[in-house]
Chain A
Amino acid sequence: MPETFEPKIVAFFCNWCTYLAADLAGTSRIKYAPNTRVVRVMCSGRVDPQFILDAFAKGADGVLIGGCHPGDCHYQEGNYKALRRFVLLKRLVKQMGIEEARLRLEWISAAEGERVKTVVNDMVEKLRVLGPRVPVRQKEVA
């Protein structure tokens, strides 16, 4: 690659915790890697595995899901459902040859602006090492 590879991460952030944390990082002027593209949902429980696989299929180098800490979900239990799906999806994604670092679930509360920075920067670093995810459909038959 001629220039440094900049991974593109599609991030599904829950409105009440992680999205607010990302806003807090902003109001605190905390600087972090500009590689995320946030899709706001009300709850991490809204994140359908179809969205995650669609993002990978369309070329996302990484997918990050951000929700409230266990026990803190604004809607009581949505994040637990997200966790259950994530554990299974992780195994599927591994069978499909997608490296583990590309799919990540993080619990980030509304007060953790600093954590948004650490998580995003860490994920970007790991993805830089892995390189771009080339959607395999490109290598298919005509």
Chain B
Amino acid sequence: MSKANGDIRIGVYVCHCGTNISAVVDVKSLAAYGATLPNVVVSREYKYLCSDPGQDLIRQDIAERKLNRVVVASCSPHLHEQTFRNALATGGLNPFFLQMVNIREQDSWVTEDKQAATRKARDLVRAAARRVAWNESLERDRIPIHPAVMVVGGGIAGIHAALTLANSGKHVYLVEREPTIGGHMAQFDKTFPTLDCAACILTPKMSAVKSHKNITLWTYSEVTQVDGYVGNFKVKVRRWPRYIKEDLCSGCLECLKACVYKEAKFPDDFNVGLAKRKPIYISFPQAVPQVPVIDPETCIQFKSGKCKKTCIDACGERHAISLQMEEKTEEVEVGNIILATGSQPFDARRIPYYGYGVYPNVYTALEVERLVNASGPTAGEVVLRDGRTPKTVGIVHCVGSRDENTNRWCSRVCCMYSLKLAHLIKEHTGADIFNFYIDIRTPGKGFEEFYQKLLNERVHFVRGRVAEVTDWALDPTEEDKLVIRVEDTLAGIVRRIPVDMVVLATGLEPQADAEQVRRLFNISCASGGFFLERHPKLAPVSTFTDGIFLAGCCQGPKDIPDTVAQAGAAAAEALALIDAGFVETEPNAAYVMEEVCSGCKTCVAMCPFTAIEFLQEERKARINQAKCKGCGTCVAACPSGSIYQHLFEDRQIFEEIEGILTNA
């Protein structure tokens, strides 16, 4: 329990934050006001308190003025609480004698009325000065970090993160829900701006994952439960049955040939529905692991029990096919988790006036990727569904991006991939290509040069958002064509452009199950539905849940270079924790005052972390300080006031309320 005994000597520090605060809040008068508050021995204002000289100011006062409490009125504690706590610690004062006041994010940045902003700041500083008198000296505990890491998602982000960690000697569990790793990148033909063959740069990495001794690869699997906390996660992974044993399969694919279905009949997801597959299939020839999957929904044996099972015969002595396989749940302990679950393409059917799903010759960008790919459904031929080669192609930008009706954000990759597809289609067919754009966004290395190349290739660019794709011909030139209606804003006219093929540059959006996934891992989503990073600039791969990191498009749309960079960054964050060996806790656990606890057990029902146990012998409750997360729910529920919470004691909060409301 805290004791506001002895001499309380408070230092109040008001930050200008350049002009971020001082332009609105009268920092000088605020500092002067601070000096009038009870127990305050020094009150200053300074331009940048978080800087070295700013922190020195505080440290000097601690030494010279014998401060034992510090109030800092500046930005949000989420940004600099740690900074100022360190300043106290290096100044010789327990870091938890700090109280921060948010007069920037929650005052100067949201208020235009300077007087009101200053009044608000005064109330809050007064409240903090009262509260800080009751702060107590606290020590952080250290939680050990288990050295293994789980990477969820086996696209390029997950693969790169897993390899980086594995190469440093750490054990990695790579969990991927598709039967193969590779993600969306495996579906691409070439990557911009270098036009590298996607498979050529991806497959060596996929192969490295397979053969790495430090990586346990679990495909066709998903995470079902996550318990624990940073350094000590317990994760359950459900492994769906492939009905083919991975360790026995040699990847010869004879079973596919032997299947009683002579013709493939079922939609092939990898080829975005443009091709078909059999009930026994492999996503693509270079799949890792090179092990097929049997789909119980379409396999005759599973549906009727009456198949000749020619696949099993073809497998022969290997006996790799096992139709009795059952799903299995694995449980592992890891210290950190990296989420690399990617994004999904926007569903173009949500914009019906672009005709996707209505006119057969309207395609999405991903479908066209498969068309131009040599191992795709048309062996690299760009042909329409009726077999014709298109002579004119229109590429519509920003489908499901920068759009108030669907997704407001820019999906970042579509301009570049639209240019890439324009180039590839022209190369394959010699067709006349039109790109319909709002802006051409080519910020990356080599991107602008790529755009120039396209301009030199005589690809047409029309600046205007496409209003409609229609097959209603107004004159003979439009017969049997799809007409793109668009306002050409540079020319200042509305145009009708007849094309054979329309390609929709669909944007990126969060995976359909992003909400469920983020709850599983106890992180938040940002407003678009992508996973929320701890800070967009200073902590872009961390989340607000310690030990859980983000990489790739699950955090926001981005291209492969940025994805790989982020994956490396996430791996580095995990490595930093593992190599440090421990992480320090925020000392805000609750504790039961056992001498006065009556054993009513109200609190035991409150804790979802099972941190509260009822001691049968003593007939009292006790809170496990390591399991307690510091939410304080039990504190508020205890009817006799016998539970306290460090850092958020009742008395401290009452003082804050008093400070806010009493005009001192």
Contacts and interface: CB of A to CB of B under 8 A. Distances in A.
Given A51-B657, A54-B654, A77-B608, A34 B111 contact: yes
A72 B111 CA distance: 29
A74 to B, nearest CB: 7
B90 interface: no
Given A81-B633, A111-B524, A111-B527, A37 B660 contact: yes
Contact of A8 (B106, B656, B661): B661
B648 A46 contact: yes
Interface residues of B, number: 52
Contact of A45 (B77, B545, B632): B632
Contact of B525 (A25, A76, A85, A111): A111
Contact of A112 (B522, B527, B544, B630): B527
Interface string A3-29: 000101010000011011011011101
A48 B527 CA distance: 30
Interface string A59-103: 110000000000110111110010001000000000000000000
A47 B527 CA distance: 26
B127 interface: yes
Nearest to A45: B633
Contacts of A27: 105, 109
Given A8-B661, A20-B78, A26-B76, A75 B629 contact: yes
B637 A81 contact: yes
Q: Contact size class for A?
A: 35 or more
B532 interface: yes
Contact of A26 (B105, B630, B632): B105
A85 B662 CA distance: 27
Interface in B591-607: 606
B379 interface: no
A74 B661 CA distance: 29
Contact of B654 (A20, A51, A75, A77): A51
A39 B653 contact: yes
A38 B106 contact: yes
A39 B128 CA distance: 10
Contacts of A40: 77
Contacts of B635: 46, 48
Nearest to A74: B522
A31 B117 CA distance: 11
A38 to B, nearest CB: 6
A112 B124 CA distance: 23
A42 interface: yes
Q: Which of B123, B526, B609, B660 has the most CB of A within 10 A?
A: B660
B544 A55 contact: no
Contacts of B632: 41-43, 45-46, 78
B532 A23 contact: no
B588 interface: yes
A78 B633 contact: yes
B524 A16 contact: yes
Contacts of B104: 26
A60 B663 CA distance: 12
B519 A72 contact: yes
Contacts of B119: 34
A26 B105 CA distance: 4
Nearest to B76: A23
Q: Which of A32, A71, A77 has the most CB of B within 10 A?
A: A77
B219 interface: no
Interface of B: 76-78, 102, 104-107, 109-113, 116-117, 119-120, 123-124, 127, 519, 522, 524-527, 532, 544-545, 588, 606, 608-609, 629-633, 635-637, 645, 648, 650, 653-654, 656-658, 660-662
Given A39-B660, A42-B631, A81-B633, 17 more contacts: A10-B660, A22-B110, A23-B76, A26-B109, A30-B110, A32-B110, A34-B120, A38-B102, A41-B653, A43-B633, A48-B635, A48-B650, A51-B654, A58-B662, A60-B660, A74-B522, A78-B632
10 contacts: A8-B660, A29-B109, A29-B110, A30-B110, A37-B127, A50-B650, A74-B524, A75-B609, A76-B608, A111-B525
A-B pairs, 10 with minimum CB distance: A26-B105, A46-B632, A45-B633, A75-B631, A111-B527, A43-B631, A76-B608, A26-B109, A34-B116, A48-B636
Interface of A: 6, 8, 10, 16-17, 19-20, 22-23, 25-27, 29-32, 34, 37-43, 45-51, 54-55, 58-60, 71-72, 74-78, 81, 85, 109-112, 117
